Amino acid sequence: MRWLFLITLSLCSILPALAVTDDETAAANDTETPPAVWAWPTTPVMPMTVFRGLWTPMYRLDEATAYLSGASIAQGIDPGFPYAALQHQRLLVIANLPGAYFTPLQRARIKTYVAHGGALLLLGGFFTDGATFRNTLLEEIAPVTFDATSDRQRVAEGLIIQPGPDAATIAWPTLNWAAKPCVYWYHHVTPRAGAQVVLTAGTAPLLITGSYGKGKVAVFAGSILGEAAPGQTAFWTWNDWPKLMSGVLSWLTQGQPTTASIAIPLRDINTEIDKAMKRTNGVTRNEMQVIESYCDRPVTTAGVNRLLSNLADIKCDISELVALNLFLQQYHQVDATCRISIKALVHSPYPYKAALGLRLLGALGTAQDVTLLTQTIETGTVPAEEEGNEDGGLGNDLNPEVDAMNPAEQAQILQIATADGICLTGAPTAVSTLKTLYARLGPTSLATWNPAYPRQEEQYRQTIFAALRCGDASAADESITLMLRAENLLQVLSEFQSKVASQQVAAQQACYHLSLQHQMATGFLAQVPETVLPALAARLARDEDPRLYSLAVQIFSNRTTRIPPPVLVTLAGSRLPAIATLAKSLMR
């Protein structure tokens, strides 16, 4: 491993510093206007996104959030960094990644996000070479400046981490400093005037905090690397490290305006979208751009209906990512008044439109809808209506991959979407069909994974989740296993993005796709019926994998109904301390 580390270190050392003009140009050319009012969601747990580099789990962020009643941790965001998506995240964490991981536009959007009240945490590591942040907008918002050359410092014997001169900035829990946690590699950074040096390692500033605009930024300049001598404690193995990090996370997100304190009105876009569509002069590409521009916006139910109706009329398909994103952002607003528009999408000859319709049909959830969804997942085709659909086939100049799609792949796309729709219905009558399907599919091997997410794996995964959501307790073990496998792939994709620059965009798209699927699956976990909770608790309690904590939060912290005491007792006996702590907090 030492030779691999030396090669990695050498490659990172020669990464060029990025010109600030690149970021400024991207910001000046940004066509999306930031929201007039910024506010973050009020939820039982804190939504945050972690951009993960190597060894990120060793920072134990999951355990840290246990002291804050949990967090919903996403591992990706739309590569375009739309403001609507950023407003769903109270905190962004960049862990062991270089500045070049982000495009100039992404860095500009992060700056705007923080300026309006968002929070950012930078965690050190060998890929987080300060030189790659120098002269970028990320450096502009940081409470430190970075060196022009590689800033890594090695202290083989270790430096003891201690409270710095501004330690009182953060309301720390009681911490056992007598354990003398040590750091063995750190970044040389220079605190800006007015920044707070909260922790030090020897004389070096290690945790530095500051404000930018209405938001807050913290930089931890340590690194997860080095070997503790006998009698020493590496900081990441220190029992109180999660407690320390919980204080940092709490400080970063305190004082953010939330949707409970600032009302963001839903927009009625009917007239607005009609005018925009008229200006397209019937040009299909322009019509699709109008639809895509409204996907993330908070709109009324009537607005969603008009959006879907216009989408159904356009003679081409949408992209898979747009379909997924539109579903996730707007399905809460769907009701029976949207049925005609949704059915038009369901019976569209375009696979991604039909997939969107099938997902949204689950939000309506009548017995008739469940029957149609069940038939579709059995056969891979949507049952024809009496009047049929005379849309004229799949000619699709804007999305040529649809033209090249074979019938088997189209069937998989529809079955995956139908599984998501059934998840929303939670209909126990679908369990038998779902069990038959996932038994036939079976999981794919991890060895086959690559930046292109395999359809069969996705189909199997979403079918298992649908069965669990509908009350199949026998799907509990496999659901948790598949969640962890998705985490593995997200980590692989994150590392792939940081290592293979030529395929960075493709890897980001794949990561975002999987992240959206993961977001859907974890969101549905809070809605599983009570009958499957004992099986889920037993699965979570018997393993020590730290990634299980975030799943426990999703399942149990977000529930709106009382959790049976025997389930909490099972969780309290978990081998993972963070889950045991969470269970005890839920007992109170």
Q: Which single residue is written with the structure tokens 């972690």?
A: 50
- Predicted local distance difference test score (pLDDT) of residue 502: 58
2-253 CATH choice from 3.30.365.10, 3.40.50.460, 3.40.50.880, 3.40.950.10: 3.40.50.880
- Predicted local distance difference test score (pLDDT) of residue 542: 93
Sign of CA dihedral 127, 130, 136, 141: positive
The rounded distance, in Å, linking the Cα atoms of 108 and 100 is: 13
The full length of the chain comes to: 588
Supply the pTM of this predicted model: 0.64
Confidence band, pLDDT 50/70/90 cuts, at residue 306: very high
Q: Does 497 have pLDDT greater than 80?
A: no
Tokens of 118: 């968002």
Q: Does 576 have pLDDT greater than 70?
A: yes
pLDDT tens-digit series, residues 401-438: 555 568 888 898 999 899 889 888 888 888 888 888 88
DSSP 8-class letter at 299? B
Domain spans in the chain, listed from the N-terminal domain onward: 2-253, 270-425, 532-587
- Predicted local distance difference test score (pLDDT) of residue 16: 43
Tell me the CA distances in angstroms from 19 to 13, 23, 92, 135, 139, one per residue in order.
Answer: 17, 7, 23, 6, 11
Lowest-confidence segment of 284-293, 375-384, 439-448 by average pLDDT: 439-448
The DSSP-derived string for 26-93 is: HHHT--SPPPSS--B---SSEEEEEEE-TTGGGG-HHHHHHTTT-EEEE----TT--HHHHTT-SEEE
Lowest-confidence segment of 229-233, 248-252, 552-556 by average pLDDT: 552-556
- Predicted local distance difference test score (pLDDT) of residue 449: 45
**131, 239, 222, 221: which is closest to 178 by C-alpha?**
239
Lowest-confidence segment of 211-215, 252-256, 511-515 by average pLDDT: 511-515
Q: Does 12 have pLDDT greater than 50?
A: no
Choice between 71 and 349, residue whose per-residue pLDDT is larger: 349
- Predicted local distance difference test score (pLDDT) of residue 447: 44
Query: What's the mean pLDDT in 84-89?
Result: 82
Rg over alpha carbons for the chain, rounded to the nearest Å, is 24
- Predicted local distance difference test score (pLDDT) of residue 3: 31
